[in-house]
Amino acid sequence: MTEDTSALPDALHRLRTVIDSSAYPLVLPSADDARRVGAALVAQLDDYLLPRLARLDAPLLVVVGGSTGAGKSTLVNSIVQARVTASGVLRPTTRSPVLVANPADIGWFRQGDLLPGLTRTTEPGDDPGTLQLVAAPALPPGLAFLDAPDIDSVVDANRALAGQLLAAADLWLFVTTAARYADAVPWELLRTARLRGTVIALVLDRVPPEASDEVADHLSEMLAAHDLAAAPLFVLPETDVDGQGLLPYQVTEPLRDWFQQLAGDAAARAAVVRQTLDGALAALAPAVATLAGAADDQAAAAGVLDERVRTSYRAGRRTFEEGLQDGRLLRGEVLARWQEYIGTGEFFRTLEARVGRVRDRLVAALTGRPAPATQLQTAIESQLVTLVRGVAADAAEHAYGGWQSHPAGAALLEPELGRPSADLPQRAERLIRDWQRGVLELVRAEGGDKRFVARSAAYAVNATGLAVMIAVFASTAFIPTGLEVAAGAGTTVAAQKVLEAIFGDQAVRNMASRSREDLLERLEKLLDEEAARYLVRIRAVGPDPGQELRRAAADVEAARTAARLTTDAPFTLPGAAR
């Protein structure tokens, strides 16, 4: 069989990057499982798939796993005929995992490509973050044993490490006893190993001679029911250990001979490696599909939360725009100051001669009151700032309520989000002042070639600018209707006629329209900044994380298919015993 694995490393690295960068920040039912599965997949890619793919000819790793007190360490010691791993009397036994290999193979495991997260050591210890390496001349080359912690340990870290080591196995040697073989935890792991394609062999230890046939037959039936009938099963009778804590030679001889045969058969070892590797690669697709579904949940929830915020702030913009169009801003203080400004004739005088400047200063000095033009400008600013602050406050409140009613949104909320930003009043004032300056610049630019405006300089510009600002407050672009006509006593129309005489009818309308659009754009930018306080909290979800995961998984599956690591015929371990 000729395989082409050249595309697999790049595809796996891409998949690892996508999985590792996929975040599940929103509190959803699928999030916790997705984070757990994602972490396990990244660990398996780093611990086993990538290093094994890089060295298909590396020694075959047998991970010895099983329940508490099953005799895993005693079995490993007995196979290699040396006390290379300590068996514990107290449960759970807390120690670092031990890897035993022939001296010729120990260098491969010392490099740290396989299980790179475990620090290599040659001394026994209790740190589960280390991997003790032991050279055993009695173990044939091409084969290594890794004694793992108990799969059902009461210590969480031990169970997690056991699962990590089993996921890095080329062959899982599962050790159980006559009293524990029907326990639920081992069978759940056996099912996972089968689905992943890991090659499995079993040892039924400590079997009373009188019950040997009955227990072995029952276990065989259970294996067949779990689609594991082809897994080799070795039955070891209940017996005493010798002075070194080893099982009698004749008890372990069948198992030792079987491993000796496997170590001496390069084709069989390669077949085991390829079957487990191919099975692990095939298992990536359904696992990543689970992640993609959780990522879709995140994106859907983020979309709902995003829309609730944007809807709230869009409503704020509409409220502001309606405030400009329905004439409400032409009432109260603004209307009073506008009438005063028009009624005193200042509007016309400032358009006609520079004498207005002298009169303004005289009035202010003698009365201590600002000129009507200044009062009008201040009233316009005050009204607009009040409107801006109101719509921002309403939008924040509505967005807060929208998120509060969604489980994922509620988990992201903080009390200050229900109010506008602390500096919003200052930003609103700055926005309106900048807009007012923009109106004056527009008038100056529009009237730059008008001899009348040029002659009257800043006073004509200021007067015209105030009139344009008033025009922005009317939906009819400075043609007053209803209350405005009645309250203005016709002076607004008179002021408009003067402006039209200077600039032209269409120019006045254009200035009013452009000023309104400028004001709305400035408001929209401010509201976007306010909405961003919410949206930044869901930014980590990304635009379409599920699709990225699916594409990466599909690339791996295509590369796996092209690699042809296994044949269509199922592989059976040699020397199966019953």
- Residues 512-560 have pLDDT tens digits of 889 999 999 999 999 999 999 999 999 988 888 899 999 999 999 999 9
Confidence of residue 357 (pLDDT cuts 50, 70, 90): very low
Phi/psi at 145 (5° precision): -115, 140
pLDDT of residue 19: 96
Q: Which pairs from 322-325 meet CB under 8 Å and 24+ separation?
A: 323/387, 323/391, 324/472, 324/473, 324/475, 324/516, 324/519, 324/520, 325/474, 325/475
Name the residue among 538, 537, 534, 539 with its Cα closest to residue 417: 534
Confidence of residue 449 (pLDDT cuts 50, 70, 90): low
Which neighbouring-strand residues pair with 192? none
Confidence of residue 71 (pLDDT cuts 50, 70, 90): confident
Residues ≥6 apart with Cβ < 8 Å to 356 = 346, 349, 350, 459
Residues ≥6 apart with Cβ < 8 Å to 194 = 200, 226, 227, 228
Taking the C-alpha atoms of residue 249 and residue 256, their distance in angstroms, rounded to an integer, is 9
Contact of 237 with 209, CB cutoff 8 Å: yes
Tokens of 553: 């998984």
Contact of 229 with 220, CB cutoff 8 Å: yes
Q: pLDDT per residue over 157-175, tens digit each?
A: 888 888 888 889 999 999 9
Tokens of 88: 């514990």
More confident residue, 293 or 186: 293
Q: pLDDT per residue over 358-392, tens digit each?
A: 444 434 443 445 567 778 788 888 889 999 999 99
Q: What is the mean pLDDT of the chain?
A: 83
Q: Given the structure tokens 């509060």, which residue do they identify? A: 404
Name the residue among 467, 535, 524 with its Cα closest to residue 501: 467
Helices (H), 1-140: 8-21, 31-44, 50-54, 72-80, 106-110
pLDDT of residue 334: 64
Name the residue among 120, 283, 350 with its Cα closest to residue 360: 350
Burial degree of 353 (CB within 10 A; 0-12, 13-18, 19+)? middle
The 10 Å Cβ neighbour count of residue 379 is 20
More confident residue, 76 or 336: 76
